[in-house]
Chain A
Amino acid sequence: MIKSKSHRPGVLFYRILRYISIGAAALAVLSLAAVTIYVLVNGTGKLSAELMFGEYDETPSILPAFVGTLELIFIACITAIPIGVASAVFLSEYTGGKGKLVRAIRVATETLAGIPSIVYGLFGYLVFVVTFGWGYSILGGGLTLAIMILPVIVRSTEESLLAVPAAYREGAFALGAGKVRTIFKVVLPSAASGIVTAVILAVGRVVSESAVLILTIGMVVNKVPENVLAPGTSLALDIYYFASHGYPDQAAATSVVLLVFVAVLNLIAGGLGRLLKRSAGGLK
């Protein structure tokens, strides 16, 4: 007599595992969604013009954090983008991905990517606050963040450079262009969508980061920084400050601002990537 498949003992066990895995997926989606929804629902009602744009006097305001965050993004980007893109150009255009030096560079980038942010914070503290004698400053924080986002930019830029067809380069060489001209006029523009996406994702990391900043920019929440050498704060740091210093409502409201900021960056990265890809496709 042939038993039907589902009555064999092992079969039932694995069928149960299947339902467990469906349950786990539901749990995973739910728990991650719960964080987002909770923050939005809990915080949106607590947003106020005073918190967003007011003076920091009796009532807290996140205006200094806005300024600080923008300055951090600016400093980190103008430092990390040129170095990161040039580094990726070297790896993909000049080496063919082989050799001892390339391996050393790759190991270094991977290791940098794995270092915890608080260790970057300690490093930034030792270098910029102590050794350079700047004290807590936005410039020091921004430069530390630049080193932190460098691996992200190098890796994704290199990927998009490698995706540029070899025929583009050969075509440029055949027309008499040198290597440098080919890189700047052909390779980099064709890889623009990937590079822009990488940069925006890196900006997302700058905006989200806070552990580095505790040790480097000083968490001065109540004053708009006068210049980049002044101590300051950022949106993420403000959330921590509000939450741990008895302003739960302000922390909730600031979280909404930060979450929207990050979401918009992600949307721009996706949209811009698609747009540039389409226009690059038109070139073909």
Chain B
Amino acid sequence: MESAYGLIRTKEAFMKGLFLLCAVFSILALVTITVFLLVSGIPFIAETGVGEFLLGLEWAPLADSPAYGILPMIAATLYVTALSVVIGLGTGLFTAVCLFRFCNRRLAVVIRQMINLLAGIPSVIFGLFGMTVIVPFVRDYLSPNGVGYGILSSSLVLGIMVLPTIVSVSLDALNSVPESYYEGALALGATKEQVTFKVMLPAARSGILAGAVLAIGRAVGETMAVIMVIGGSPEMPTGLFQSVRTLTANIAMGAMELSGDALSALIATGVVLFVFTLLLNISFSMLKRDKTAGKSKGVLNDKK
């Protein structure tokens, strides 16, 4: 008898260990990714000089005296991300508000499902759409210099791409605001519109902010859609209608043809991008913690 119990106990312990091992795999993977990137990227940055690499204005890895400055790419990334999030947040937030209060309930459910479905469209298809529709449109009707590729086109494509994220996160945030806020404000004589914009929206702001950070992360990290519409010249961005290159585009465009030092430069670009997204991740989880804290406070107030 005892040996049978022992067998079962061993089996239980073994399986628990196996489950634990699998669970720890995520940590292991993250550590491995970080180590591989840093080990291959940091020596190159140190060799080039941190200042020269991050603040250098010229990117010419194949020149006789190669220069590896990624400031134009950092600037382009920030520029494109900011513009696309403004476009996406402007449209997405109002869309969420509309679905939340100013829209037939049944229609709102259908629209929401549709938007969720569209979130699954592969980014390369957005890129193709940008290349064949948005770029020619920008070139023919908006651009003063006849250039369609560039910051405006990329921001428009990315703005459409981040819409589903912003709409669904904002809508969740609005829905988690206690209904008593709404009723209370109505009882004080505010109109439905006033309540929605002045009470519900501010009450949901930390959730909405978290959605915005998520959208920024997507815009910073998006590669395929961007390289198809950005143009690709590693120049300092000065206007909306100019071919530039983001950090992600720099990696993807260089990856196919470079080797040696130039390749290390790409990996170093990847390190910068990685640090960028880590910072975004940290601010996102801080916002989320803030949100749950705010929510429990709301519940307390309700009880009073």
Residues of A within 8 A of B (CB): 5, 10-11, 14-15, 17-18, 20-25, 27-29, 31-36, 38-39, 42, 82-84, 86-87, 89-91, 93-94, 101, 104-105, 107-112, 114-123, 125-127, 147, 150-151, 154, 178-180, 204, 207-211, 214-215, 219, 236-237, 239-240, 243-244, 248, 251-252, 255, 258-259, 262-263, 266
Give bound CA distance, A255 to B127, whole Å: 11
Residues of B within 8 A of A (CB): 8, 11-12, 15-16, 18-20, 22-27, 29-30, 32-33, 36-37, 40, 90-95, 97-99, 102-103, 111, 114-115, 117-118, 120-129, 131-133, 160, 163-164, 167, 191, 193-194, 196-198, 217, 220-224, 228, 248, 251-252, 255-256, 266-267, 270, 273-274, 277-278, 280-281, 284-285
Give bound CA distance, A111 to B279, whole Å: 10
Give 4 closest A-B pairs by Cβ, nearest first. A116-B221, A24-B94, A208-B122, A14-B193
Residues of chain A within 8 A (CB-CB) of B92 are 24, 28
Residues of chain A within 8 A (CB-CB) of B197 are 14, 17
Q: Which residue of the partner chain, among B8, B20, B95, B128, contacts A25 with CB atoms under 8 Å? A: B95
- 12 A-B pairs whose Cβ atoms sit less than 8 Å apart in the complex: A14-B198, A21-B98, A25-B95, A25-B103, A31-B163, A39-B128, A84-B22, A90-B23, A108-B27, A111-B278, A117-B221, A215-B252
Residues of chain B within 8 A (CB-CB) of A20 are 94
Contact across chains for B12 and A210 when beta carbons are under 8 A apart: no
Give bound CA distance, A5 to B132, whole Å: 49
Residues of chain A within 8 A (CB-CB) of B220 are 116
Residues of chain B within 8 A (CB-CB) of A239 are 124-125, 128
Give bound CA distance, A109 to B30, whole Å: 8
Given contacts A14-B194, A24-B90, contact A118 B19 (CB under 8 A): no
Contact across chains for A24 and B91 when beta carbons are under 8 A apart: yes
Give bound CA distance, A5 to B195, whole Å: 14
Contact across chains for B277 and A115 when beta carbons are under 8 A apart: yes
Contact across chains for A243 and B97 when beta carbons are under 8 A apart: no
A49 to chain B minimum Cβ distance, whole angstroms, is 22
SS class, residues of chain B in contact with chain A = helix
A35, A108, A120, A180 interface centre (most CB from chain B within 10 Å): A35
Give bound CA distance, A108 to B40, whole Å: 21
Give bound CA distance, A179 to B11, whole Å: 10
Contact across chains for A214 and B255 when beta carbons are under 8 A apart: yes
Contact across chains for B131 and A116 when beta carbons are under 8 A apart: no
Contact across chains for A108 and B30 when beta carbons are under 8 A apart: yes
B20, B122, B274 interface centre (most CB from chain A within 10 Å): B122
Give bound CA distance, A263 to B24, whole Å: 34
Contact across chains for B19 and A119 when beta carbons are under 8 A apart: no
User: Closest A-chain residue to B126, C-beta based?
Assistant: A35
User: Closest B-chain residue to A238, C-beta based?
Assistant: B124
Q: Which residue of the partner chain, among A14, A120, A178, A248, contacts B8 with CB atoms under 8 Å? A: A178
User: Closest B-chain residue to A115, C-beta based?
Assistant: B277
Q: Which residue of the partner chain, among B11, B36, B37, B121, contacts A35 with CB atoms under 8 Å? A: B121
User: Closest B-chain residue to A256, C-beta based?
Assistant: B125
Contact across chains for A255 and B217 when beta carbons are under 8 A apart: no
Residues of chain B within 8 A (CB-CB) of A251 are 128
Contact across chains for B40 and A126 when beta carbons are under 8 A apart: yes
Give bound CA distance, A36 to B125, whole Å: 9
Residues of chain B within 8 A (CB-CB) of A101 are 24
Contact across chains for A32 and B223 when beta carbons are under 8 A apart: no
Contact across chains for B125 and A210 when beta carbons are under 8 A apart: no
Contact across chains for B8 and A11 when beta carbons are under 8 A apart: no
Contact across chains for A236 and B36 when beta carbons are under 8 A apart: no
Contact across chains for B127 and A240 when beta carbons are under 8 A apart: yes
